[in-house]
């Protein structure tokens, strides 16, 4: 029996992961889910996907039925959403076998929905691989002549879909993307933007992050900047006891808008964690994800942090979160030697290159002000302050102004003292 016809006792197709590392996958369950979820979430991609896939390109029967139903709804000018699709498929045994809420789950698995055409090309390529193998198997078993097999392979090659380049004009792009970012924290955090914050160990980056989260959950100003009220997902490397203290310190122990994930409780690979985070954020309407710290969550070893390839791999799930419309705050450790913002974080510069806004939290070099920090910033967007002096009062941070303003105020105070 050929690989493409192997089925378990239940009659459902076998996933490649269950068939050994030597098996060359001929289907991708997640890619098929991503196509369907993207079509339900963003119906405008349906026409492009339809030009790539036929229903028979789906390996899993439930996915073929869902795809066919979506196209039928489009042709009948009906709305496309989980309710309309589920209503049409009520009683379908293949879909029922996936679970009662399967169609509702599909949009949450699309990361992001606008990538559905890309995933459709992958599904198409795998379908062509299955058909090619089937032709070869039939040739071996004498069911086809050599001439017939060649003719069928030629037909397959004619229907292959090239990857191509997804293009858009500058005018169309600017019409779709707002001129002003959708700020979560004005100037520093925005939907679709990656912000990196580095600081030396125990310098207060987690305290700053949790205090920021407190302000976002309340929709109140933070360090003199406006925030947008939104639920938050916080991925922490800390254990329950220490993080409980961190939440209590800033007054987050009585909120239900903060969703927590503890690293030591998770066995998933970092890539899977990223996808799960997007799904959770979509379900709960979360706008901000905090990753504390990236090196711990991505599983990078100390010697791998300096590897540009490993750094880019670690940042890929973060980029997918941002592509899904989330604001992402990534916490990282500062190198021992420190340095200017943009070059102060530990490891390869590829980390910072993949981020959009870079922040560095440092103790006040003037000394004598243990509660003061300097928040330095650089980035691709506008609105941040190059050097902002912040001070912790009553467990919360407040802005004292730019470093120039604070220096001028100190000088003025000294002059007043001298006159007295």
CATH number at residue 190: 3.40.50.300
CATH number at residue 146: 1.10.860.10
Which DSSP symbol is given to 402?
E
Q: What tokens appear for 229 in the block? A: 């009220």
Shared domain check, 230 and 301: yes
What is the greatest pairwise CA distance in the chain?
Answer: 107
Range of the domain at 148: 3-158
Shared domain check, 322 and 226: yes
The answer to whether the predicted template modeling score (pTM) of the entire model surpasses 0.75 is no
Task: Please report the pLDDT score of residue 210 as a whole number.
Answer: 98
Domain stops at, among 125, 158, 191: 158
Task: Please report the pLDDT score of residue 418 as a whole number.
Answer: 52
Shared domain check, 23 and 153: yes
Shared domain check, 143 and 14: yes
Shared domain check, 279 and 153: no
The residue that leads in pLDDT, 218 or 77, is 218
The angle, 0 to 180 degrees and rounded to 10, between the axes of the packed helices 146-158 and 116-140 is: 180
Task: Please report the pLDDT score of residue 208 as a whole number.
Answer: 97
Looking at 85-89, 226-230, 335-339, which range is the least confident one? 335-339
Please compute the mean of the pLDDT values over residues 317-342 and round it to a whole number. Answer: 88
Which DSSP symbol is given to 257?
S
Domain stops at, among 336, 356, 376: 356
257: in domain: yes
Shared domain check, 70 and 117: yes
Shared domain check, 238 and 138: no
Is the separation of the CB atoms in 394 and 385 below 8 Å?
no
Residue 14 has pLDDT above 60, yes or no: no
**Structural domain tally of the chain?**
2
Task: Please report the pLDDT score of residue 139 as a whole number.
Answer: 83
Residue 6 has pLDDT above 60, yes or no: no
Shared domain check, 149 and 259: no
The residue that leads in pLDDT, 268 or 331, is 331
Task: Please report the pLDDT score of residue 28 as a whole number.
Answer: 87
Residue 269 has pLDDT above 60, yes or no: yes
Interatomic CA distance for residues 396 and 207, integer angstroms: 9
Backbone angles phi, psi at 109, to 5 degrees: -95, 0
Q: What tokens appear for 160 in the block? A: 């292959």
Summarised one tens digit per residue, pLDDT across range 68-83 is 999 999 888 888 999 9
Shared domain check, 207 and 151: no
Shared domain check, 138 and 215: no
């Amino acid at each position: 029996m050929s690989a493409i016809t192997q089925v378990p006792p239940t009659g459902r197709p076998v996933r490649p992961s269950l068939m050994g590392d030597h098996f060359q996958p001929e289907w991708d369950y997640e890619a098929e889910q991503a196509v369907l979820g993207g079509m339900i979430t963003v119906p405008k991609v349906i026409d492009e996907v339809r030009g790539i896939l036929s229903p028979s390109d789906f390996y899993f029967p439930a996915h073929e039925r869902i795809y066919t139903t979506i196209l039928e709804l489009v042709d009948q000018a009906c709305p496309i959403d989980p309710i309309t699709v589920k209503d049409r498929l009520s009683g379908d045994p293949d879909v029922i076998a996936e679970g009662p809420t399967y169609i509702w789950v599909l949009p949450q698995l699309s990361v992001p929905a606008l990538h559905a055409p890309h995933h459709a090309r992958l599904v198409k390529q795998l379908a062509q691989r299955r058909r090619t193998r089937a032709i070869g198997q039939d040739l071996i078993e004498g069911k086809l002549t050599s001439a017939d097999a060649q003719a069928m392979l030629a037909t397959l090659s004619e229907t292959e879909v090239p990857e191509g380049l997804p293009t858009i004009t500058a005018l169309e792009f600017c019409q779709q993307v707002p001129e002003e970012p959708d700020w979560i924290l004005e100037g520093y955090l925005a939907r679709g933007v990656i912000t990196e914050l580095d600081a030396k160990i125990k310098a207060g980056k987690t305290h700053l992050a949790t205090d920021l989260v407190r302000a976002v959950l309340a929709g109140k100003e933070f360090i003199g900047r406006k925030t947008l009220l939104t639920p938050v997902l916080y991925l922490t490397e800390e254990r329950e006891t220490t993080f409980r203290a961190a939440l209590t310190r800033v007054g987050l122990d009585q909120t239900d808008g903060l969703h927590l994930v503890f690293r030591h409780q998770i066995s998933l690979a970092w890539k899977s964690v990223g996808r799960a985070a997007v799904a959770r954020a979509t379900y709960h309407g979360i706008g901000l994800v905090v990753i504390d710290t990236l090196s711990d969550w991505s599983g990078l070893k100390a010697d791998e942090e300096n590897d540009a390839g490993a750094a880019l791999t670690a940042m890929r799930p973060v980029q997918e979160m941002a592509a899904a419309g989330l604001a992402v705050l990534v916490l990282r450790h500062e190198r021992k030697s420190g340095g200017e913002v943009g070059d102060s974080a530990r490891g390869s510069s590829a980390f910072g290159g993949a981020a959009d806004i870079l922040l560095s939290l440092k103790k006040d070099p003037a000394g004598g002000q243990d509660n003061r920090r300097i928040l330095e910033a650089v980035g691709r967007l506008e609105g941040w302050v190059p050097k902002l002096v912040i001070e912790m009062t009553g467990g919360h941070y407040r802005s004292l102004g730019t470093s120039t303003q604070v220096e001028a105020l100190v000088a003025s105070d000294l002059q007043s003292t001298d006159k007295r």
